[in-house]
Amino acid sequence: MIGALIIAYHPPPGQVESLIDSLRGQLDQVLVIDNSQPASGIKWADNSESTLLEPGTNLGVAEAINRGVARLANSGCKRVLLLDQDSVPASDLVAGLARCMDQALGEGRAIAAAGPVIRDQDSGQDAPFLRFGLPRNQRLRGSQGSVSCDFLISSGCLLNLDAWQQIGPMRSGWFIDNIDLEWSFRARRQGFELLGCFDVHLDHAIGETRFLLPGHRLPYRHHGPARLYTMMRNRLWLYRSGAPWSWIIRDSLRAAIKFICFSLLVRPRLANAGAMLRGLRDGLVRRPAA
């Protein structure tokens, strides 16, 4: 059995309902966890295969995934498809990912998860799968088959729950940022592969794009001070939790650029700088949360 887990947070009216409709016939079960406060009032046509959980508080993405996976596993699912509320799956998404995973497992390989090619809804560009390295990452593209990669984003990721039991759940104390990176790195350290499937696609919105200067192509992903704090704290925790050195070196440069841009160019500048400094402090001083 294959189930889907959708994590929602104040979705626009009809968004989650449309996502569920697009999954009809692809899955055995669909579970929605609404992290909104108050609940969003998600509704859809009566369907015994779909379940909505409203915990009444924002569990964070990591804890919501952990609870959802546990519930679906207890109901008999052997694989779970993770989806964000704004993802747009193709009609063959689940079949394609399952086929990709089955082929690799049939070859005797240890597979933790399989993921599709992610197409950015803003730019229309397909993101490559990555193998981290220096001085450059290896960017993997293709039109068919699959490739072993170092990282899969959570949305669109089909989890093999046999591997999940061995690797362990997401780090719930991290709340949101870098949880998929940490889990991917942990899976790789334990000898599992992550499969990127070239012939399976998912449209996904990757943050809100803005421009630093009007009329100039200097795009950035906008985040408020609270999110900047979590991003900086969690990247330090990730450095301390066994991330590959090639990724740490490159990400340190990205963090420095982000700090400069959000402190000097993006309002509210002082609040952004203070939040990022607190995140860096806590990431260094506090023990990485489980």
* Helices vs. strands in the chain: H and E counts, helices first: 8, 13
Same domain for 20 and 92? yes
In a domain, 40, yes or no: yes
Tell me: the pLDDT tens digits for 154-208?
Answer: 999 999 999 999 999 999 999 999 999 999 999 999 999 999 999 999 998 765 5
pLDDT confidence of residue 206:
65
Same domain for 111 and 212? no
Same domain for 192 and 258? no
Q: What CA dihedral angle connects 5, 121, 244 and 285, to 10 degrees?
A: -80
Q: Which residues constitute the domain of residue 139? A: 2-204
Number of domains in the chain: 2
Domain boundary among 135, 170, 204: 204
Band of residue 219 on the pLDDT scale cut at 50, 70, 90: low
| 210 vs 128, residue with greater confidence | 128
pLDDT confidence of residue 205:
72
Same domain for 248 and 182? no
Same domain for 114 and 10? yes
Domain boundary among 170, 204, 238: 204
In a domain, 51, yes or no: yes
In a domain, 264, yes or no: yes
**Cα(175)–Cα(168) distance, integer angstroms:** 16
Of 84, 31, 33, 83, the C-alpha closest to 54 is: 33
Asked if residue 44 has pLDDT above 80, the reply is no
In a domain, 129, yes or no: yes
Residue 285, classed as helix, strand or coil, is helix
Same domain for 170 and 220? no
Asked if residue 272 has pLDDT above 80, the reply is yes
**Cα(106)–Cα(282) distance, integer angstroms:** 44
First to last CA, the chain: 29
Same domain for 103 and 194? yes
**Cα(279)–Cα(276) distance, integer angstroms:** 5
Same domain for 180 and 258? no
Residue 32, classed as helix, strand or coil, is strand
Q: What is the pTM of this model?
A: 0.94
In a domain, 44, yes or no: yes
Residue 131, classed as helix, strand or coil, is strand
pLDDT confidence of residue 217:
57
Asked if residue 46 has pLDDT above 90, the reply is no
Same domain for 74 and 198? yes
Tell me: the pLDDT tens digits for 72-117?
Answer: 999 999 999 999 999 999 999 999 999 999 999 999 999 999 999 9
In a domain, 290, yes or no: no
Asked if residue 2 has pLDDT above 70, the reply is yes
Domain boundary among 204, 225, 242: 204
pLDDT confidence of residue 213:
52
Q: Which residues contact 115 (CB under 8 A, 6 or more apart)?
A: 97, 129, 152, 153, 156, 157, 158, 194, 195, 196, 197
Asked if residue 68 has pLDDT above 60, the reply is yes
Q: b/e per residue, 128-167, with b = 16+ CB within 10 A?
A: bbbbbeeeebeebeeeeebbbbbbbbbbbbbbbbebbeeb
Same domain for 87 and 115? yes
Same domain for 178 and 226? no
| 276 vs 38, residue with greater confidence | 276
CATH code for the domain of 137: 3.90.550.10
Same domain for 176 and 48? yes
In a domain, 47, yes or no: yes
